[in-house]
Amino acid sequence: MEENKNIAPASAGAAKTDSANHSARPNGRYNNGGRPQGQRDGRRFGNRGRFGRRDEEKLYDEKVVKISRVAKVIKGGKRVRFTALVVIGDHKGKFGYGLGKSNEVPDAIKKALAAARKNMFKISIAKGDTITHTVIGHFGATKVFLKPAPAGTGLIAGGAVRAILELSGVKNVFSKIYGSRTQNNCVRATVDGLGQLKTFANVQLVRHGVDINKNAEEAAKAPEAK
């Protein structure tokens, strides 16, 4: 009996049907016009990163002030670890610092950044990107002197003091360190000094009991009431 050559083999039709169903299947490997999942309009990973994570907006800039190698003597010998001192800030008056310790340097920096985000401070930057008045910060055997400077002076500071002032948004200031110059002490003394800063509104409220901000808000609402 002769075979009808006009009829396609059953295996070829089954393979074609199976391929079409696989392409149309929502959970199949090729469900986007024959392209692998994740490839859309020539973009390999779409809006997500290489590992499927969306790129988070960076809120704070960070700077590693110091990385130290510390060792503890134990029964079997010495246990070596690393400590990292990190400062973060948004250049708009908000800053923080943190200390992290781990067996590896990247892990120590990661812990320090997490601690810095929990240890944030806020200051008011005066006109000319400087501080409002002269202050002296204390911590341990360290004193940090901070003095306002006119616009264009720049940061007359170094080390940990410069890192905090840069990331907090202060651009013009004179500074001097007295006593111990340990980086950790300098950071804490600088934070203590910046925490002593007062604005004109704070002074008026303490001396005369006048809330300038409240009066300004009431004056702004007065024309609307009329």
Higher pLDDT: 145 or 59? It is: 145
Segment 5-37, tens digit of pLDDT = 555 555 554 544 454 454 444 454 445 555 555
- Band the pLDDT of 44: cuts 50, 70, 90: low
**CATH code of the domain occupying 61-198:** 3.30.230.10
3-state secondary structure 179-201: ECCCHHHHHHHHHHHHHCCCCHH
**Where along the chain do its domains lie?**
61-198
- Cα–Cα distance, 140 to 190 (Å, whole number): 12
- Cα–Cα distance, 186 to 183 (Å, whole number): 5
Q: What's residue 186's pLDDT?
A: 95
Contacts of 108 (CB under 8 A, 6+ apart): 67, 81, 82, 83, 84, 100, 101, 102
- Cα–Cα distance, 127 to 132 (Å, whole number): 8
Write the burial class of residue 192 (CB in 10 Å: 0-12 exposed, 13-18 middle, 19+ buried).
Answer: middle
Q: What's residue 143's pLDDT?
A: 96
Segment 112-169, tens digit of pLDDT = 999 999 999 999 898 889 999 999 999 999 999 999 999 999 999 988 999 999 999 9
Cβ–Cβ under 8 Å, residues 190 and 144: yes
